Structure 1
Amino acid sequence: MSISDRRNLIADAAIGTVAAAGLRGLTHRAVDAAAGLPAGSTSYYFRTRSALISACYLRLAELSVADADRWEADRGRLDPDSAAEGMAALLHHWLTAARDRQLARFELSLEATRRPELRADLQAADLAVRARAADVLAALGAPRPASAADLFVAWTDGLLYDRLVGAPAATRPPPDAAELTAVVRRMLEAALSA
């Protein structure tokens, strides 16, 4: 296993640990166990807890951009209708199969508000996601793609937060592709006219 693969394995295990146990459960020892690695492996690659949290931010952004890239590759031609369907599929993935990643992302984002030393990596991760959204919105004809991306990312985060941890999340049925597509279509229309 390459160093890069090992670092990704550790970051993925740390993300899963945060999703399952919150930041209180994020220890080097817990991540070693979750990754199936010998004791001390995580601390070898990420000496401090802050370094481990930063690795989580960057890995979450990398995975989100990769998800978006896969979605775009599957779409072929990009137009507002295919974008709405693709983004709805992406949201469905994030609300179901990749649910833990989103839960960890929200938990880790809150931690960065309390610890300034973590802010730079969170911002770098966020900027990567916003740049990817701006590229897609520019391809769809947004007159101001960067500001449209800011709105679109905020709406997407709000929808994810509401569906995962908002008050009705525990009683709401699983996400429906048609409903998500309709919501994304409205978000895209607003973002493209902004």
Structure 2
Amino acid sequence: MSTPEAPPPAADRRTLIADTAIALVAAGGLRGLTHRAVDGAAALPAGSTSYYFRTRTALIGACYRRLAELDLADLDGDGSAGPPPPADRDAAARMLGTLLHEWLTRGRERQLARFELSLEAARNPELEPALREAGLAARARAAAVLAALGAPRPAESAELLAAWTDGLLYDRLAGALAHSRPAPDPAELTAAARRMLDAALAPA
């Protein structure tokens, strides 16, 4: 007689819930995000999601944190403190171009969910602190890269680069021409990344 399988640790359940919630938002928008829907999609006992995240606001906050964690893992490769800064602008452009290609292909659904969940913070002020905190680490990483490339004001340049990157991703994923564009091309994205970096590093 086999022994019952032990339930996953609380941290693993929180991650499972956040990942499932993100997938639900990517598939059906925020209207499909309910505690009951997450329980069902994650094959968890009824009430599990509400046990860990009592409110919808708390659940969305968990999604912000998980999205930031996944994006940082993409930036760092192995989820560590980060790779060495690129040696020059060409290397930085290749790094960013590769990241953009990843987010427009294998990471497409996650980025769509990120945009949808981010818009919710504009409607619910309680979510703004969680969204802001989730966005700080990636901007800090970008500022470190820009500082290594000689940016005189790396934090300001990182804000611009983050805005341009989000704009490019949104345009390619959900913009007016998103469905008529050819498949994402790494070389084209690297060229676009180089233009963004040149602009971010330009003297004021």
State the Cα distance separating 1:103 from its structure 2 match.
Answer: 0.6
Q: Which protein has the bigger helix share? A: 1
Answering whether residue 31 of structure 2 is matched by residue 24 of structure 1, we say yes
Q: Does the CA-based 8 Å contact 2:29-2:116 persist in structure 1?
A: yes
1:164 aligns with one of 173, 178, 185: 173
Structure 1 or 2, whichever has the larger Rg, is 2
For residue 61 of structure 1, report the CA deviation from its aligned partner: 1.0
Q: What is the match of residue 128 of structure 2?
A: 119
Does the 8 A contact of 1:143 with 1:193 survive in 2?
A: no
- Following superposition, the deviation at residue 10 of structure 1 comes to 0.7
> What's the offset of the Cα at 1:78?
3.1
Question: Which string of whole-angstrom CA distances, capped at 9 and with x for unpartnered residues, describes residues 52-100 of structure 1?
Answer: 0000111111111111111863x78532111111111111111111111
Which letter maps to 1:12?
D
Q: Deviation at 1:2? A: 2.4
Summarize the alignment of residues 106-185 of structure 1 with structure 2, pairs less than 5 Å apart.
106-185=115-194
Instruction: Find the aligned partners of 1:76 and 1:190 in 2 and give their Cα distance.
Output: 19
TM-score (norm 2): 0.90
**Which residue number corresponds to residue 12 of structure 1?**
19
80, 96, 99: which is aligned to 2:105?
A: 96
Change (3 A) 1:65 1:112: same
Distance in 1 between the 2:121 and 2:110 partners? 16
Q: Give structure 1 stretches of 5+ with no counterpart.
A: none
Q: Provide the aligned C-alpha RMSD in A.
A: 1.5
CA contact (8 A) 1:142 1:192 kept: yes
Q: Once superposed, which parts of structure 1, at least 4 consecutive aligned residues long, lie more than 6 Å away?
A: none
What is the number of residues matched between the two proteins?
A: 193
Structure 1 residue 50 corresponds to structure 2 residue 57: yes
Of the candidates 66, 71, 90, which is equivalent to residue 81 of structure 1? Answer: 90
TM-score (norm 1): 0.94
Question: Within 1, Cα distance between the matches of 2:46 and 2:147?
Answer: 47
